[in-house]
Structure 1
């Protein structure tokens, strides 16, 4: 693939996820806040909702490899990725709007409707997400080019995410003033985000030129082979376990953001300022990653990033709430470190495609890359459980005013947001260091042997 096409693909692929990540952020980070602080659901109903959210997310996480198998087994004149990107985007759009539509149903009826819609949303988004990210390895086998494609995509994803994170408080207040209620504000916001998602997805669907030579026609993957791909691909398995633990900690911290600034800092409007600082920090980390990777090995970058995050968590925990200085510094450290790690996670999983091809003589791009959304969803599920349980036990959900939350409740909120995630992130790093071994040298060996095997196969086919 020539340089002109490669550069075009970097941007068309990356731009496609801007609106997608804005919409995903609405559900992953702010749906819980919408339920507790906008709909003001009772502790009893929130307990049921939390349990259902955790159950559905775990179910959908384990459903991801099956979706990956479905994508891998797809054969069409548009390839195997783009049809599912489009189908998933359209269905996700419908179910996103239904989250915020007022069915005028309360109690257990609301729980049932919410659970069904949540399940359908997760399945629809899975189809889109797996097809989107599993396209990346097919665009290039070169590690450095993959880093460039991945960096642009992650920058665009973070641009979408932080646009919503920074703007949601002010924008929903603006819409609430216009519509007369915060509930209606979220409903119209969901419609706007759906339109943006579909608009930006068209850049990927119509703008990316796939490297069809990398999409080798293979036998269809069976369910038995599906489990072999995941379990016997030891590098994929260990990095997935490590990153699932990491993402549980990270998402737990970010999910508490609005609660922290409302109940501990005492000014929810500062959440937007904090988010803006984090956005610049994380996008900067992603932008400079390709440059840094020229001089340092991935293992070194990963270790340094974890170290930066650990320091950030410690500063955050002890930072005074009378000023943004300490919190801001901690946030920069956390999100610079996480920005590098989220890209490394994508690269580690992408390299596992070639490792699997080397080990099993079959690529299985989509099944392998399905572990990335699996990691995010499992992390989201466990984080939702931590957040949901915390806001109930701490007395936050039932409170009508900040002053009604006890100091013990605030301490529980702070510990769940900062101490628990710190422990999880350290555990994830120890697992990575002990078991993951695809470094730059080993990867070159894998590529060389895979190419030699393919040449041999083509030679045999000619004869």
Structure 2
């Protein structure tokens, strides 16, 4: 392997490392900051109303983005600069999104005392953060099909990228509580204070920006005649192009339902360790476990897909996650069993992500042959759109559940009743199992785009695309 190729892969991994730190901050820990610190005035009715309103605002914004993200992808597809198509969006989008999120991790200079004004400013800032985060997210993962047409080479590139993202995501889990508590003047039952959460946001946002810059400096797109479109996709054609790509739609539906199950468990874990086990610091131990097994799983991905193919790997991964949730549900307050179950649940997650990412990536050529358009960023915008929609829906469920079972404000493990603990555990474990099983059934019956099928498509494009494009 050439030094340039290795440098490109490492730079790409640095970008996804910082990007997934940001992703975890938004989708997992921002809601914990809101429920435990942002609204803790002592007026329980007011605090619960504000938490519920914020969750609703986030959900509405994320649903509205279902109609915005494809246009972001389409705009990126039309970008043509001397720095490439994607890197300007990665760097500028990352910078603006990080600054916006840091501000969201504050009370904005005491604006929470004026609820209506705070909600207006919050909504504007969240939209800015979300749009530029979307642009960065789409641009980063759209680079996979732009680097190579070979499925095997794409798997290796995506493996490097996912190693970076897994390390970043799990490092957040390791460091969030130590950072928050270190910078907090008030430990607040193990969830820290506003000062500690702001420090966490500044550190995470800074790493995200640095990763984007490294990616921009160290990566290069692959030039090919197959990446030259016959004509640009207009805004009017965006949803038509997506709708005609049936394999993209089925893998997207599969992934959305899978994410509902996965994200619910991941978002609830901090609450579980804080209010069920009564020791939030155990979350750092889980983060260390997840870093090790997550990196191991991702590193083995090319070997696993070579020996077992993506379809078998997907189904086996879901089976492991379901078994893990059953163990988790019966672990109770046994810390060791909880860590084993949580680690086992995390183990296949990066593998499922890579299977889905590779399948979505291959639908670029599938759609190119079927429809006559090559739309890299438009098609790759579907994956982050799904992650954000799932994150918004599950964050709303987590926020409302936290209020429902008394896990908000100044709550402690001792203040949660047995009935509320049972309700919480049913939502955390039983509901995700249903989602995971449904996702598997859809995948097995509707997703037909295999590695072999994709290779046939690429050969056909190489034979016909250049001639048709003349």
Q: Same fold (TM over 0.5)?
A: yes
CA distance in 2, matches of 1:52, 1:69: 26
Matching residue of 1:146 = 154
Q: Name the stretch that deviates more: 88-97 or 401-410.
A: 401-410
Could you list the runs of 5+ residues in structure 2 that have no partner in the other structure? 41-46
- 1:425 has 2:436 as partner: yes
CA distance in 2, matches of 1:274, 1:179: 20
Could you list the runs of 5+ residues in structure 1 that have no partner in the other structure? none
CA distance in 2, matches of 1:399, 1:76: 51
Matching residue of 2:263 = 251
CA distance in 2, matches of 1:342, 1:245: 13
Q: Name the stretch that deviates more: 2-11 or 284-293.
A: 2-11
Match of 1:242 among 225, 235, 254: 254
**Alignment of structure 1 residues 182-197 onto 2, 5 Å:** 182-197=193-208
How many residue pairs end up in the alignment?
457
Q: Name the stretch that deviates more: 295-304 or 394-403.
A: 394-403
Matching residue of 1:226 = 238
Q: Output the aligned Cα RMSD.
A: 1.9
CA distance in 1, matches of 2:105, 2:230: 43
CA distance in 2, matches of 1:416, 1:371: 27
Give how far 1:219 is off. 2.1
TM-score (norm 1): 0.94
CA distance in 2, matches of 1:88, 1:434: 38
CA distance in 1, matches of 2:455, 2:19: 34
- 1:301 has 2:307 as partner: no
- 1:216 has 2:228 as partner: yes
TM-score (norm 2): 0.93
Matching residue of 2:96 = 91
CA distance in 2, matches of 1:45, 1:359: 49
Match of 2:456 among 436, 440, 445: 445
* Contact persistence 1:386–1:416 (CA under 8 A): no
Match of 2:382 among 367, 371, 378: 371
**Alignment of structure 1 residues 31-70 onto 2, 5 Å:** 31-41=30-40, 42-70=47-75
Give how far 1:182 is off. 2.1
Q: Name the stretch that deviates more: 195-204 or 216-225.
A: 216-225
- 1:77 has 2:82 as partner: yes
CA distance in 2, matches of 1:400, 1:392: 10
Q: Name the stretch that deviates more: 224-233 or 325-334.
A: 325-334
Matching residue of 2:294 = 282
Name the SS of the counterpart of 1:78 in structure 2: coil
CA distance in 1, matches of 2:236, 2:319: 40
CA deviations on 1:124-156 (whole Å, 9 max, x unpaired) are 101111111111111011111111111111110
* Contact persistence 1:399–1:405 (CA under 8 A): no
* Contact persistence 2:179–2:199 (CA under 8 A): no
